[in-house]
Structure 1
Amino acid sequence: MAEQRSGGGAAADHGGRAAPEHVLVVFPGYHRPWATWINQRLEAHGVRATLQRWDPPRETPLVDSLGDLLLARGTVLLVLDDWFFQLGPRPTGEWNEVLRGFVLERAERFAAVNLTNRTLLPATAVLEPVSLWGVGEEEAEARLLNRLGIEPRRQAGRRLTPGSLVRYPETPPEIWGEVPRRNPRFTGRDDLLTELQERLMDAERGKAACTLLGMSGIGKTQIAAEYAHRFSPDYDVVWWVSSDDRNVQRDRFGELAAVLRLPSGNEPGERIRAVREALRRGDPHARWLVVFDGWDDTDGAGVMLPQGPGHVLVTSRNRAWAEHTDILDVPGFDRAESTAYLMRRAPHITAPEADEVAAEFGDVPLPLVQAAAWLGESGMEVADYLRMVRDGRLSTVDERVGDGFPNASLTSWSILINRLRRAQPQAIDVLSLCASFAPGRIPLGIVRAYPQAELPEDLRWMTTDLPAWNRALDTLVNYSVLSRESRGPVAGVETGPHQESVHMHRLVHDIVARLTDGEHRAAHRKAVRALLAEADPGNPMDSRHWPRYAELLPHLEPSGALASRNPRVQTAVLNCLRYCFRSAEFRAGIRLAERIREHWSAFMDPVSAEMQELTTQECYILRAFGRFREAYELDLALRARLDEAAARDELGSLRSAVSIASDLRFLGQYQESERIQREAFDEARRLLGDNEFLTLVAGHNLGVMLRMLGRYKEAYEHDVASLARSENALGARHSHTLSVSNAVAQDLRLLGNYREALARQENNVRFHAQVLGPQHLNTLYARAQLALCRRREGGFQQDLGAAFESLLDQMQQVHGREHYITLSSINNYANYLREHGDLAHARDLIQEAEAGYRALVGPAHPVATGVFANSALVLQASGQRADALAILEGALAGLTSSLGPDHPWVLGCALNTTAARNFNGRVGDAAELSRETLRRARHVLGGEHPLTLSCQVALATDLRGLRENEEAGKLEEDALLTLTRTLGAQHPHTLSARQRNRPYWDFEANLG
């Protein structure tokens, strides 16, 4: 019968014990979540508690270590499981002796909770441990309080809310993303884990990011996984991102968007942006941890690293992470940690023997794990084992592994491989096959997913004997050679055997590749190539297949696929390259294209269809990445080979001409680009007809070039015809059709038809988002054009600032700050800020855009010159009129030289130069230039174009300054009437002219 307790005074339980005023909670670091929860519950009931992590050194007698705990007042509560009694480690007999003697004599000072259903040491009964294993939070709390004789407070019945600091350890975080299984043999590292937690917890909001830095095999991944498990109650989201390969990393991080139920499409950049924004806001979860495991390349850090209220943990070998995160160096084990681990895995060895083995392997965790596994499984005496290691009798390779590992580690692996070869030869088959993939995540499931792939005779059992397959994998996992991974279902991606993967550490991969290399290696690599070809979805334009391509991509070169002469493998290789372009993985695409070219050049005709397609895709990627000159040189080299070929390749020459024209356009050679593009378009129509895709592409490119030349009316008429052909051949929602429709709207805006352009562009953006996703490159470009339409139309001024800023942020997230698309957004936002009075911010942005374009295309490029002219407008608005005039005069001369005097860009720059001359007292010079500019604008753009009318208002201002008021009045009146009729009485241009504000023109940077 339960004892009834009053609310005051000390309560009693076991033997009438009084409730303690203080409890010392003693726990192994492994069970910190439990200790933290116990501490919180005790303090909630008015009992002061202190946490004491406990791992007594082996050299200190156990009686002394336990006696030290009794120096604290109150009750010592031991948090027990079978692991607790391996701390030290110590012989079982020592523990039983101390429990039966020292602890029994002081039983009133000790209590315990039991967190396991495994059998504890018999003498543990003296502690009367209460079991918390497998029970709910409310029952666990009741048992804990009852064991300590603590009277529950009434308000303590309230359960923890989602925002509480400590979650019940048996309650996992709401989102738990592919964190490796907890290693039950994880050893030591308590101080390092505690320091890691303190650094993350103490960091400023948005800066809680730490990199675990160390060589391969030092245990970085194990520490990160243990941190995720040990401190999981502190988080609502824990997401693990394997980062050995950038493509896999981006797709894995982007998968969090679906789990968080964020509105996003399938394009990686779009999902990443959505995830980073949600993490930054802390919505829907503020307590999050993202672990990037094996991230050695810091190039994408600015685009990928999340910020916000949560924490980021990176594991890497690259010290350059110090520029992005806090750094925590991961050393080898302490010697005590090494020996403790060895003695736990191999209980038959003594402390001095464990010390000798640890010294042999330099306290590096990975080889120690293998040594411990061997010694524990085989029962071999340490002297015999070390003799085999030191004399290298079983080693097949004598050279160093690298990363600072001693030679002995390779020999240790040799022992393990030879043992597996005798006891489980099928495990060696799996290992040898894995060695033909790249390290990191290996999509090993494709072996069973595509049984039609031709496997060599020694591997055919893998597709027919599932039990043997599972046994082989289990063996390798048990020996810490592989770890299992599985990809959960992803929206829009089919699930199946190809989702099954394993992970092989790069050091393990290197060693295994050396030790299993033999007569079957060539056959195994051929098998992997065949599997990769079978796994190719066949359509890299479909974003639903991008996660699959991201998994296949790292394994192309290790398998020998890049050097394959098999047409099907070559097709898969080219599809992976196309995936890099379509998914905006430009860096990976450039590296892949270079390696393909290096291999194919050794045996393939330089003008073969495959080499031509390689050049086409490589140039696509180079141009998209902003490396225009390299694309041009590559195209010229191919064109020279085509010209030298014995037989004329009309189609190849046509493709080459289309690509060269695009190169020239980006390089600013507009007249030559237009000539080649027009010839290519005519040739495509003759050779292929109007509706073939290459003809449609050539036609669209010609329209772009006409627009860049300032021939807006001709571009519009051409683009309208191109749009009709594209809609007829491809459909209204094809991505190419959307691009042409976007061009038509741009033509309309540049012609001054702002309302019509806006209406069309609003539809364009909606269709782009539906078809390609809101963060696709083409969608972002369409949104940028929409913002310009709204600015020119005049009715959206209050909302435009936020729109320009948001668009710039998203451009940066997807493409980086120095990409030419982002530079265009920086320029356009700077123009808006200058117009609305934020001169300091505008100056910073325009200087950034100018420097970016100068670095990208050179200072003489028309676009770079145009942005330079924009900087003069900021100076002029700031009162630096002389400096502004000097810049504008130089820009006008440069643009006139490269584009000719009648180009709209030249006319706009001339308009600004007239204002600068006027402001600097050179009114006569201003009027002379204004009159000439107006004459040319009427000829090129017509009398009703907004730029022409701006030139007319400017001339009236200059004439008024010369006291030629009659002509000035007529010009001004005519301009106001035309502006009112074409744009409306309330349009900003009309209002500005009526108020006699000097008009200006700002340059919209666009490389085409």
Structure 2
Amino acid sequence: MVDQRRSGGAGAAGRDGQGGPERFLVVFPGYHRPWANWIAQRLEFHGRRVTLQRWDPPREVPLEESLGDLLMSTGRVLLVLNDWFFELGPRAAGEWNDVLRGYVADNADRFAAVNLTNRQLPPATAVLEPVSLWSTGEEEAEERLLGRLGIDYRRTTGRQPPASGSRFPNTPPEVWGEVPRRNRRFTGRDDILTELQERLTEAERGNSACTLLGMSGIGKTQIAAEYAHRFSTDYDVIWWVNSDDRNIQRDRFGELSVELGLRSGNEPGERIRAVRDALRRGEPYSRWLVIFDGWDDTDGAGVLLPHGPGHTIVTSRNRGWGEHTDVLDVPSFDRAESTGYLMRRAPHVTSAQADEVAAEFGDVPLSLVQAASLLGETRMEVPEYLRMVREGRLSTVEEPAGDGFPHSSLTSWSILINRLRRTQPQAVEVLSLCASFAPGRIPLGLARAYPQADLPEELRWMSTDLTAWTRALDTLVTYSVLTRESRGPVNTEMGPHQESVHMHRLVHDMVSRLTSDENRETYRKAVRTLLAEADPGNPLDSRQWPQYAELLPHLEPSGALSSSNARVQAAVLNCLQYCRRSGEFTAGTRLAEKIRNHWTVFMDPLAPNMLDLTTQQSNLLRSAGRFREGYELDSAMMQRLRAAEPRNELGELSINGNLASGLRRLGRYQEALELQRQVLADEERLLGENELTSLNARHNLGVGLRLLGRYREAYELDLETLSRRQNALRTRHITTLNSGNAVAHGLRLLGQYRDSVARQEPVVRLHVQVLGPLHPQTLAARTHLALARRREGGFQQDIGPLMDSLMEQLEQVHGRTHYSTLSFINDYGNFQREHGDLAKAKDLIAEAEAGYRALLGPAHPVATGMLANTGLVMQAAGDRSEAMSMFESALAGLTATLGADHPWVLGCALNASGGRNFNGRVADAADLSRDTLRRSRRVLGDEHPLTLSCQTALAADLRALREHEEAEKVEADALLTLTRTLGAQHPHTLSARQRTRPYWDFEAYLG
């Protein structure tokens, strides 16, 4: 590859024989591109013309001929040397010395060289008189370079390169985040690395992201790591994110906030948001590179994928990344790369033999790494090796390897593992233990962290013999079977009990296939024992969530889901509880279904753990919006409990609590309230008033009262629950935080908007500190605050951007059709209608209404209430007749299901009276307004904003009937009360003074 460079113009230029600037051809292996770039930059700065040429001459072309091609250029040839330079090809022993002594010596005036290593080079390299840049500072390196080329350094001392130039290669980026150590044996891939760089640099600014796509073992991770090293001088921040597991991925990406010096909390969600914002703005660094390694699930792309002036690389097997990034397919090695790698690792292998081995393994890099490692370590002859591979002597290799790999790969792994069994059996034990975890990141240090674990006798050495442990891991790392990982701060040494390793999926598959059934069960039992020991025991404590996130992926591979061990089952249920409490609803519902499938086979359906599973599973289903499924699951369990003898009163109590929650979500509010009262009475009778479940029952009773419009009762009960939770559980407990939300929500429903804002602001801050800004409960708290500020009226300019941000984040966390997102789409539509974007409001309200109908059915009170908002959009658009029809439908439907005195019904009546007035039915409007005002005063009180809106509407209807005296009196009284309660400048007060007809918009609330 030739990279033409224009001349720089800073220093005094040397001249070639024809009077132009002196020219140089800088020849380098791709491995040393950073040095070549820096050398070119310095020479151009001093007025020389430079051409860069990446060099990897084909082995079939004589070396003298390839060097002769270099001399076809004008000017001198500068070779960038290290020991790797002389392994290109690779060449037969002695070929380089012969050419250096002959051809190069004859043209010594045309060649010069710099040396970047302290390793021994071929003796004849002396003819090039290479100047060493090994381990030098930038100023000294420049002086040596220019001195070797006869350029006067002193004449241009003090002049600096442009700020955009490449950084000196020995100067690391400001932030270097756990990029894998550079592979000195990295082979070829120059073309794909060059293309990757071109795609990243030529992409649209702000969206420079490329996915390296290919099957397991194809070399995606190695290419990404080599890119990070090779182009490190082009970046100030390089951050590596292992992405096999979503929670670990989020933690690791969020850790970048510390390195960037960002002011964020300790929760991953908060850190992620801060990091993405900093990267988007390019502050404090605009030249950044983030690499997500092994990111196969594209669901989280919108939440994590950064945008901005820097670059992003993803490695994945999932072609779905084409919807989010540019995609670069990673092929197998080409044959020259395969054979070159084999011959360098195993020098006794001939070119023809290397070709045969490469063909056997289909040029797949990971398979060739293992073959080369074994051939180089044992010096086994290739015919013998291939014979063993092809004969498939071991009985465990009869099935294909899968994942697109040839059958011979499995046999090659058999040979390696058999050799380790003879020479390092403890390494095989560690490897087999790893294969009983999930692939990807493995918390292997658990084997040392819990010496009390009841491990099989043959594995107990892992917790007692540190030397053997270290030796076994070192062996596996040496054979490229595992890589070490660390979760601690950069450059911080982790103890063996904290050690994690990364096991590629291909390796995991191979080792699993080569482990006998008996041994596999031994290791799986050991892993699930360790997982149970590592269970923190408190999934409600957000500080323990990172540990649960690390345990979660390994439950199924270890066989924990089918274990009959009580401690393992408890750990499984705690992990399930973690999913619910941390907001991982989709993952939780999937896990619960898997647990049920396993436990149903051997467990009594009324066993305590099965009851616990049912409780958690139905809660997760409701949290995910699958209300009917959750209710049916609880109903089936209750039928079993009632038919059983003796009676399980605590079991019935737990399921009754779930049934009450299910009834609320299904819109059967009165039934739910009656059942919830009974649940609370039973909880306090059987368990005591201040137990966690009793307090939860008390909170849920408040939810039921709110849904029935009994706002004052709900608020007073929520205040009491909050006080009890603060005393029993403390302020930062997740359920105490939820009570804080409930109290602030109650104040808003009571029309005390200022108090609601004042109460909700510290609640939100505490949520963010404890749970992070993107936890579902935090998003709910932030939503309540936004709505309270909108109602309070003093934050109108800030509400739009706030709601924009919340809309995006709710969609990221829940998806577009989740009930929490639909609720906010509805609220956002109401806001847009009020502030002039009627087209957007129409689309949002229509989306919310359709979404709720699909989720809940058309007869559900929430789906019915949505008609009111649809009518408001129609009325604003001038379609008054259709709007009135919507208002009347909402009024009739909610009256039938909730009764005439429910606040939602009163709001619909307020809208319907307006619709009648606007359509000329003034007398009917006045009658409805009088009745609605009377009911609202009785239900909500004289000073509630809805009551005052009803009073203002009545005044308008009376005025239309020419009953001016009564209208003036009613209006004046309403204005006086609005001014006193909400303030003279509140939007409600201003609208009433301007005689704008009041309305009521529906907030969709499911409890």
- What TM-score, normalized by structure 2, do the two folds share? 0.95
Unpaired runs of 5+ in structure 1?
Answer: 1-5
Could you tell me whether the CA contact under 8 Å between 1:45 and 1:153 is conserved in 2?
no
CA–CA distance in structure 2, aligned partners of residues 618 and 498 of structure 1 = 33
C-alpha distance after superposition, 1:86-139 (max 9, x if no partner): 111111322112111111111111111111110011111111111111111111
CA–CA distance in structure 2, aligned partners of residues 197 and 304 of structure 1 = 22
Amino acid at match of 1:241: V
CA–CA distance in structure 2, aligned partners of residues 865 and 207 of structure 1 = 42
Name the CA shift for 1:7/1:43 in 2 (closer, same or farther; >3 Å). closer
Amino acid at match of 1:505: H
Could you tell me whether the CA contact under 8 Å between 1:580 and 1:588 is conserved in 2?
yes
User: 1:944 is paired with a residue of what secondary structure?
Assistant: coil
Worse-matched range after superposition: 637-646 or 754-763: 754-763
Shift, 1:45, TM fit: 1.6
1:323-362 map, 5 Å: 323-362=323-362
Shift, 1:958, TM fit: 2.6
Name the CA shift for 1:772/1:10 in 2 (closer, same or farther; >3 Å). closer
Could you tell me whether the CA contact under 8 Å between 1:912 and 1:1001 is conserved in 2?
yes
Amino acid at match of 1:136: G
Could you tell me whether the CA contact under 8 Å between 2:823 and 2:1003 is conserved in 1?
yes
Amino acid at match of 2:630: A
Shift, 1:885, TM fit: 3.2
1:328-727 map, 5 Å: 328-394=328-394, 396-489=396-489, 496-517=495-516, 519-727=518-726
Amino acid at match of 2:548: Y
2:251 maps to 1:251: yes
User: 2:83 is paired with a residue of what secondary structure?
Assistant: coil
Identity value in percent: 72
1:99-178 map, 5 Å: 99-152=100-153, 157-158=158-159, 164-178=164-178
User: 1:673 is paired with a residue of what secondary structure?
Assistant: helix
- Give the equivalent residue in structure 1 for 2:93: 92
Could you tell me whether the CA contact under 8 Å between 2:268 and 2:772 is conserved in 1?
no
CA–CA distance in structure 2, aligned partners of residues 837 and 324 of structure 1 = 33
Shift, 1:269, TM fit: 2.5
Could you tell me whether the CA contact under 8 Å between 2:541 and 2:733 is conserved in 1?
no
Could you tell me whether the CA contact under 8 Å between 1:25 and 1:39 is conserved in 2?
yes
Could you tell me whether the CA contact under 8 Å between 1:395 and 1:410 is conserved in 2?
no
- Give the equivalent residue in structure 2 for 1:22: 23
- Give the equivalent residue in structure 2 for 1:297: 297
CA–CA distance in structure 1, aligned partners of residues 654 and 531 of structure 2 = 29
Shift, 1:922, TM fit: 3.9
CA–CA distance in structure 2, aligned partners of residues 705 and 565 of structure 1 = 39
Unpaired runs of 5+ in structure 2?
Answer: 1-9
Could you tell me whether the CA contact under 8 Å between 1:267 and 1:776 is conserved in 2?
no
User: 1:50 is paired with a residue of what secondary structure?
Assistant: strand
- Give the equivalent residue in structure 2 for 1:762: 761
Amino acid at match of 2:660: A
Shift, 1:868, TM fit: 4.1
Worse-matched range after superposition: 958-967 or 637-646: 958-967
C-alpha distance after superposition, 1:903-935 (max 9, x if no partner): 211221222233233334444443343333333
Name the CA shift for 1:11/1:765 in 2 (closer, same or farther; >3 Å). same
CA–CA distance in structure 2, aligned partners of residues 815 and 130 of structure 1 = 60
User: 2:645 is paired with a residue of what secondary structure?
Assistant: coil
Shift, 1:303, TM fit: 1.8
Amino acid at match of 1:786: L
CA–CA distance in structure 2, aligned partners of residues 241 and 211 of structure 1 = 14
User: 1:23 is paired with a residue of what secondary structure?
Assistant: strand
User: 1:300 is paired with a residue of what secondary structure?
Assistant: helix
Could you tell me whether the CA contact under 8 Å between 1:189 and 1:223 is conserved in 2?
yes
Name the CA shift for 1:886/1:155 in 2 (closer, same or farther; >3 Å). farther
CA–CA distance in structure 1, aligned partners of residues 417 and 365 of structure 2 = 18
Could you tell me whether the CA contact under 8 Å between 1:657 and 1:680 is conserved in 2?
yes
CA–CA distance in structure 2, aligned partners of residues 850 and 595 of structure 1 = 34
Amino acid at match of 2:604: D
- Give the equivalent residue in structure 2 for 1:3: none
Shift, 1:191, TM fit: 0.7
Could you tell me whether the CA contact under 8 Å between 2:250 and 2:272 is conserved in 1?
yes
User: 1:26 is paired with a residue of what secondary structure?
Assistant: strand
- Give the equivalent residue in structure 1 for 2:4: none
Shift, 1:845, TM fit: 3.2
CA–CA distance in structure 2, aligned partners of residues 619 and 302 of structure 1 = 28
- Give the equivalent residue in structure 2 for 1:226: 226
Shift, 1:193, TM fit: 0.9
CA–CA distance in structure 2, aligned partners of residues 143 and 395 of structure 1 = 62
Shift, 1:512, TM fit: 0.8
- Give the equivalent residue in structure 2 for 1:190: 190
2:199 maps to 1:199: yes
CA–CA distance in structure 2, aligned partners of residues 609 and 705 of structure 1 = 28
CA–CA distance in structure 2, aligned partners of residues 820 and 832 of structure 1 = 18
C-alpha distance after superposition, 1:875-922 (max 9, x if no partner): 322334344334333333332333222221122122223323333444
Name the CA shift for 1:332/1:7 in 2 (closer, same or farther; >3 Å). closer
Worse-matched range after superposition: 272-281 or 317-326: 272-281
CA–CA distance in structure 2, aligned partners of residues 858 and 243 of structure 1 = 39
Amino acid at match of 1:404: G
CA–CA distance in structure 2, aligned partners of residues 476 and 289 of structure 1 = 30
Shift, 1:158, TM fit: 4.9
- Give the equivalent residue in structure 2 for 1:284: 284
CA–CA distance in structure 2, aligned partners of residues 267 and 593 of structure 1 = 25
Shift, 1:963, TM fit: 3.1
Could you tell me whether the CA contact under 8 Å between 2:540 and 2:734 is conserved in 1?
no
Worse-matched range after superposition: 178-187 or 881-890: 881-890
- Give the equivalent residue in structure 1 for 2:960: 961
Worse-matched range after superposition: 700-709 or 686-695: 686-695
- Give the equivalent residue in structure 1 for 2:886: 887
Shift, 1:85, TM fit: 1.0
User: 2:290 is paired with a residue of what secondary structure?
Assistant: strand
CA–CA distance in structure 1, aligned partners of residues 243 and 279 of structure 2 = 19
User: 1:83 is paired with a residue of what secondary structure?
Assistant: helix
Could you tell me whether the CA contact under 8 Å between 2:542 and 2:770 is conserved in 1?
no
Could you tell me whether the CA contact under 8 Å between 2:13 and 2:21 is conserved in 1?
no
CA–CA distance in structure 2, aligned partners of residues 923 and 21 of structure 1 = 95
Could you tell me whether the CA contact under 8 Å between 1:437 and 1:528 is conserved in 2?
yes
Shift, 1:263, TM fit: 3.0
1:798-947 map, 5 Å: 798-947=797-946
RMSD: 2.6
User: 1:309 is paired with a residue of what secondary structure?
Assistant: strand
Could you tell me whether the CA contact under 8 Å between 2:213 and 2:318 is conserved in 1?
yes
Shift, 1:62, TM fit: 1.5
- Give the equivalent residue in structure 1 for 2:5: none
Q: How many residues align?
A: 998
Could you tell me whether the CA contact under 8 Å between 1:432 and 1:517 is conserved in 2?
no
Shift, 1:159, TM fit: 5.2
Name the CA shift for 1:633/1:150 in 2 (closer, same or farther; >3 Å). farther
CA–CA distance in structure 1, aligned partners of residues 376 and 548 of structure 2 = 41
Shift, 1:595, TM fit: 1.6
Shift, 1:702, TM fit: 0.7
Could you tell me whether the CA contact under 8 Å between 1:846 and 1:870 is conserved in 2?
yes
CA–CA distance in structure 1, aligned partners of residues 46 and 11 of structure 2 = 12
Worse-matched range after superposition: 338-347 or 952-961: 952-961
Name the CA shift for 1:864/1:351 in 2 (closer, same or farther; >3 Å). same
Amino acid at match of 1:83: W
Amino acid at match of 1:39: A
Name the CA shift for 1:773/1:189 in 2 (closer, same or farther; >3 Å). closer
User: 2:114 is paired with a residue of what secondary structure?
Assistant: strand
C-alpha distance after superposition, 1:761-782 (max 9, x if no partner): 3343344344444444333322
2:34 maps to 1:33: yes
Shift, 1:245, TM fit: 1.9
User: 2:396 is paired with a residue of what secondary structure?
Assistant: coil
Shift, 1:155, TM fit: 6.4
- What TM-score, normalized by structure 1, do the two folds share? 0.95
C-alpha distance after superposition, 1:140-159 (max 9, x if no partner): 11111111122348666355
